[in-house]
Structure 1
Amino acid sequence: MHLAETHRYSLYLILLAFVIVLLASYTSLKLARRIADSSPWHQKLWITSSATTLSVGIWSMHFIAILACPYPAVKSFDIATLFTSLAIAVIGSIIGFIVMHFATFEFPKFLLGGTFMGLSISGMHFLSMSALNQAEIHYSPIPFILSILIAILVSITTLYLSTYTKQKVLSSGFVISLALTGMHYIGVSAGKMTYPDRSMLAEHYPVDMDAYVLALLIAFGTIIFLSFNLFYSMKIDQKLLEQFALKASLLDTSMDSIMVFNSRGWIIECNSAASAAFGYTRKQTLTLTMFDFLFPFDRNGEAAAALFQQLSRQDAALLGKRVEMAAYRADRSEFPAEITITGFQFKGKRMFAATIRDLTNQKRSVSAS
């Protein structure tokens, strides 16, 4: 038996493995951005796509990185074990994402989901290492445990970033890829491998494909898979932009004033009719709250607090109902208004839309008659 050499790695295959996992991390985070904004059925689809994309990329990186190692002399793998390791990574990642996005318990979901996902990735790593035929592997405890801890930490970070919409996808993907690559080589360094003489190995496994050819085939298949998912995500982006542009056009052509505000009352969007009706510019409107338009003289804040409490508890007597009340322009002049407030979810946050109709002319007509 010969002790496997652990130097003279193939730099080209190492770089190829890193590029694969970088592309997988980037694509997975891009797909994860769709989860919060989708319907429940589509959320499951995006979770499955994001988790599968990441786990397939990690598995491919791991397999190519194994080919970059100088051992054993003739690389021959047990196919069933390899695909079992891939299945473990995919299933574990999907479960981790499901726990993160659907679990209802109080314990931090990204910790539990990330731990399960990290253990599955570690299991994939060491199981696929055992797929090398005729190789005996003995692991050193410290790097063995360290690689598992890194896998768990990276998984926790990935799940957290999958719900954090403000992160920069490219830089986040780069950090995740570096950590996953480091996890792989720490895991490899934990193993002391011995294998038979080349002549014995070649006799039992005579078919030997060049490592570069095999790596390129795996990389090509993975890139096709990732490119399909990324292309689909970009098509969805384009469709959403078109829908957003259409909705923006409908808002701007509406005769009624429409304002979108968050749970604290801050205006985050308005249409042209709102700016014209209240006498503010759009820029000025986005620095105000709904309470500035409805209760500008509410010194003690009681009226604003009452409305805020109704919004917080999603009071059915308010939401979706037409309510007549006074509204105020920029010059603090009062006018009668019909206000309808509706609530909706946007990127996991509670938002509200107020449709405000000026009743001044209507009131005058009634008085005249």
Structure 2
Amino acid sequence: MNSSQIKHFDYIFTGAGLASLMTIYKMVLSGKFSDKSILLLDKDSKKINDRTWSFWEKEESIWKSIISKKWDSALFVNENFKRNLALKPYQYNKINGLDFYNFVFEKISNQTNITFLNEKVTDINELENHVFVGTEENRYTCNYLFNSIYTKAFAESQTKYPVLQQHFVGWFVKSESEVFNPEQVTFMDFSVEQKGNTRFMYVLPTSKSEALIEYTLFSENLLTKDEYEKEIQIYLEKLGISQYEIIEKEQGSIPMTSYPFWKKSTKRVLNIGTAGGWTKASTGYTFKNSDKKSSELVKFLGVPSTSLRMTMFYKRNRFWFYDLLLLDILYRHNELGSSIFSSLFKKGNPKLIFKFLDEETNLFEDFKVILKCPKFLFIKALFRVLFK
């Protein structure tokens, strides 16, 4: 293929994940990019329900029509206590992956300037005046590239910033008995055996007999699939469930790190999503952070500029530093996760905690949350990080 046959686009998105789809959807909504040619590349056709996203919010968002379930109450549990958390003015929401994909693709399929191709990206090469993208089938060029294909080696081959994984296996089960409270999500249940890690159950009940149950760890190393599933079976027995049907399964591993992914950005290439550090490092929550970052990116791209540089997009804030301290502790003492989160939720104001995790608190509110945590651990981590 010679260069005259290589198709050129204004923007190319490599990877049709949450960040890319949110950004393109909002580009369409803004009305400012109808004259820009956009190519979206992914080896996956996005036709299956491969994941569940959950997030809390106060006001209705543009995603309200695809929220499959909402909760006004949450439960926090460890081996010593249970606490019911009234979430208002927040609601905890669940979105199924396939509903999200269908919603976004229905919108963008009507845009003549947007092309989605089922092709695996094999090569990205930035040149002075454009970016070259190769797939197994074709070659393309663009003015600017947004990459959401995560490269594990960037974060995991260095030692300056700790890297944990939020890894999980989830079963959506239908029980013969009515044992779930469909009005309350189990946010974290640390009553399961910790085995030297930070391990908890996460339960999203959709009816009295149906729920998504995820066995989740914040730790460095993954387990075998059998280990996750055995713990889910034990938990179901503890809930008094003996007869049930597994409707769907999901599994995942989300990197939790304060590694500065933004330093990989260049003049014409911006890493987004997990590849760009859009995942909330201390919790692994992705949906809400990506929602915010994608809005910021669309606004950034919409400002007329003769010298647009992708390196100018990211701005580090103090919450990045808070996350770094927690990850430093959990990396060194993974068994302390239950006690840290328990100290936070035992007496802390749930509304303030969620506001803090949304990175919307002021400094005074930050300290109100942080002072609920074990002080000595965080002071030690602070000195370690400052003098590293």
**TM-score calculated relative to the size of structure 2:** 0.24
Which is higher, the Rg of structure 1 or of structure 2? 1
Higher helix share: 1
Higher strand share: 2
**TM-score calculated relative to the size of structure 1:** 0.25
